[in-house]
Every structure is written in structure tokens, then in C-alpha cells.
């Protein structure tokens, strides 16, 4: 092999290697672009769900606070049963929350999101589960004491309702923290 052929071969190899490096760079850039688009879409969907949940929870929280105040005012009223009281105020309502976008996102590409965002979303999900358990306990207690007119049973309901309100306030604080977070910097 002569010197000219060797130089030609090396030149061709350099061109091929440069082409491969350019193709890899373009592919990496395109993957980052797709990842950013996915993150933005997922976070926007999660944000809309949280805004919906926040509005729903805000309304229910006000209702629960009014219910708590009414129970407090009628605590010593032995003529009204728990059933009559809740019938009079229109029953007990529960906030229904959505987390479809969060669940989809977590099951697919959590490695793309900032740890603090994932941590906050996990806290929201945990608080939502805690709230659901407290509501279940409250409803069970409510059904167990429907016929009761005793102040003692109404006090138990009041304690459970205060626990629910505390968790709802905690969930609202987490929603606010998520919605007020700063967007991540774009690389």
C-alpha cells in the first residue's frame, strides 16, 4: 500500500467518523428535545389535575368547616340524632381527586424530572391516601352512630372531622406548593 492510498484511506475514515459523530449529536439533541416536550406535556397535565383537585377540595373544605361548626353548635342538642343532623345539612360530601397524569408519568419516565417535583407529587399522593383513610373511618363512625343523639358520639364525629379538615388543609398546602414552584431551567 503506497503513501497516497494510506492518506486517502485515513481521510475517508475521518469523514466517516465525523459523519457518525454528527449523527450522534443530532440524535442526542433530538432525544433531549423530545424529553423536554414530554416533561412539559406531563407537568401541564399534572398541573391541570391539581388545579381541578384544588378547586374541588376548596369547596369541600369550606363545607366540612361549616359542618364542624354546626356539630359544635348542636353538640348538646339531645333531640337531634346524627342522622337527622346530616340529613338537614345535605349529607357528608367528599372531595374526589384525580391523579391519572401523575400515575402515568410516574410509571413511565420519572428519571427525566427533578427530584423535588417527584418528591412533592409523592407527598400529594400520600396525603391523598391518608385523607381517604380518615374519610373512611369518619363514614364508618357516622353509620355506626346514625341513631345516636348523645353529645359523646357527636364529639367523636367532631374529632374525626377535625382530622379530615387538618389533612385537607395539608393537601391544599401541597397543591399550592406544587402550583407555585418555579419551572425548571431549560438546558
**pLDDT by residue (tens digit) across 9-18?**
999 999 999 9
How much of the chain, in percent, has pLDDT values that exceed 70?
A: 91
Residue 112 has pLDDT above 80, yes or no: no
Half-sphere exposure of 159 (CA within 13 A, CB side): 8
Residue 71 lies in a domain: yes
Residue 187 is predicted with a pLDDT of 44
Are residues 101 and 42 in contact, defined by beta-carbon separation less than 8 angstroms? Answer: yes
Residue 186 has pLDDT above 50, yes or no: no
Residue 147 lies in a domain: yes
Domain that holds residue 145: 3-179
Give mean pLDDT, residues 20-38.
Answer: 92
Residue 55 lies in a domain: yes
Give mean pLDDT, residues 106-127.
Answer: 81
Residue 100 is predicted with a pLDDT of 72
Are residues 124 and 178 in contact, defined by beta-carbon separation less than 8 angstroms? Answer: yes
Residue 112 lies in a domain: yes
User: What is the domain count for the chain?
Assistant: 1
Q: How far apart are the first and last CA of the chain?
A: 48
Residue 171 lies in a domain: yes
Residue 107 is predicted with a pLDDT of 66
Residue 186 lies in a domain: no
Residue 76 pLDDT level (bands cut at 50, 70, 90): confident
Give mean pLDDT, residues 93-98.
Answer: 86
89-117 as b/e, with b when 16 or more CB fall inside 10 Å?
eeebebbebebebbeebbeeeeeebeeeb
Element (H, E) at 146: none
Higher pLDDT, residue 63 or 3: 63
Residue 26 has pLDDT above 90, yes or no: yes
Query: What single DSSP character describes residue 173?
Result: H
Are residues 148 and 82 in contact, defined by beta-carbon separation less than 8 angstroms? Answer: yes
Residue 138 lies in a domain: yes
Half-sphere exposure of 54 (CA within 13 A, CB side): 16
Residue 90 is predicted with a pLDDT of 86
Residue 116 has pLDDT above 70, yes or no: yes
Average pLDDT over the chain reads 88
SS3 97: coil
Residue 187 lies in a domain: no
Distance of alpha carbon 108 from alpha carbon 80, whole angstroms: 53
Neighbouring CB atoms inside 10 A of 178's CB total 19
Short-list 92, 76, 68, 65, CA closest to 146: 92
Amino acid at each position: 500500500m503506497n503513501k497516497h492510498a494510506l492518506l486517502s484511506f485515513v481521510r475517508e475514515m475521518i469523514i466517516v467518523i465525523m459523519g457518525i459523530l454528527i449523527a450522534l449529536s443530532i440524535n442526542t439533541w433530538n432525544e433531549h428535545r423530545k424529553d423536554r416536550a414530554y416533561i412539559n406535556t406531563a407537568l401541564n397535565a399534572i398541573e391541570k389535575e391539581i388545579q381541578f383537585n384544588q378547586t374541588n377540595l376548596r369547596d369541600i373544605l369550606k363545607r366540612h368547616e361549616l359542618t364542624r361548626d354546626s356539630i359544635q353548635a348542636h353538640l348538646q342538642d339531645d333531640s337531634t340524632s346524627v342522622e337527622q343532623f346530616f340529613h338537614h345539612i345535605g349529607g357528608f360530601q367528599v372531595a374526589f381527586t384525580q391523579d391519572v397524569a401523575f400515575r402515568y408519568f410516574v410509571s413511565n419516565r420519572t428519571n427525566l424530572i427533578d427530584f423535588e417535583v417527584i418528591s412533592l407529587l409523592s407527598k400529594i399522593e400520600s396525603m391523598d391516601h391518608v385523607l381517604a383513610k380518615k374519610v373512611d373511618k369518619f363514614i364508618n363512625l357516622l353509620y355506626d352512630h346514625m341513631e345516636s343523639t348523645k353529645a359523646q358520639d357527636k364529639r367523636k364525629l367532631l374529632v374525626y372531622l377535625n382530622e379530615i379538615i387538618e389533612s385537607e388543609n395539608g393537601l391544599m398546602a401541597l397543591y399550592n406548593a406544587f402550583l407555585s414552584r418555579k419551572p425548571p431551567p431549560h438546558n
